Amino acid sequence: MAKLKVFNQVSLDGYFTDERNDMSWAHRSDPEWLAFTAENARAGATLVFGRVTYEMMAAYWPTPAARQAAPDVAAAMNRQRKVVFSRTLKQAAWSNTTLVSEDPAIAVRALKQRETHDLVVLGSGRIVAQLAQAGLVDEFEIVVNPLVLGRGRSMFEGIEHRLKLELLKTRQFANGNMVLWYERA
């Protein structure tokens, strides 16, 4: 059975997007960080997105700019299987993407049963909250960025009960990022 993981970047004050839904603040590159993201991308997981994150990723990763900035990550992002949850998209043209309009919790429960590779949610705060609320997220990989936004969106908006998590490990990067790995307690 596949695990469902969430990989998201947050500000020190806990926001994964600023008040304008911008995430550009989360892209603090250095060689160590680029190697880490390339290693993560090579893991071969099925990527899971909500519509907003999907459209942002699909507009960037297939481009020459992405291939130049992060060639290993771009190759993996374009090669990997992707699932996008949306009730409004009519088609998903990015390579290897399956469009799903049914309830994310029902679909992910089935995906976890039949997939051989793990599933990883990137961005997609509403999807994260729904799947966490349903008890489907096995692991959170949270990157804490050394900045304070003051306002923005939490990826846990809409959670109706506390999620108890257990810290598995941490890793600090020279660019100031700190990665925290948690699993459900």
135's CB contacts (< 8 A; 6+ apart) are 184
The pLDDT value recorded for residue 14 is 93
Over its length of 185 residues, how does the chain's per-residue pLDDT go in tens digits?
Answer: 899 999 999 999 999 999 988 888 887 778 888 888 878 877 789 999 999 999 999 999 999 999 998 888 899 999 999 999 999 999 999 999 999 999 999 999 999 999 988 999 998 888 999 999 999 999 999 999 999 999 999 999 889 889 999 999 999 999 999 999 999 98
State the pLDDT at residue 70.
85
Would you state the pLDDT for residue 123?
A: 86
**Confidence at residue 43, expressed as pLDDT on a 0 to 100 scale:** 77
Distance CA 75, CA 135 (A): 32
- Domains annotated for the chain, with CATH where assigned, are 4-170 (3.40.430.10)
DSSP designation for 16: S
Q: What pTM was computed for the model? A: 0.91
Phi/psi of residue 98, nearest 5 degrees: -110, 130
- Tens-digit pLDDT profile for residues 48-84: 999 999 999 999 999 999 999 888 889 999 999 999 9
Confidence (pLDDT) at 94:
97
What does the radius of gyration of the chain's CA atoms come to, in whole angstroms? Answer: 16
E strands, 114-164, are 119-122, 139-145, 152-153
Amino acid (1-letter code) at residue 72: D
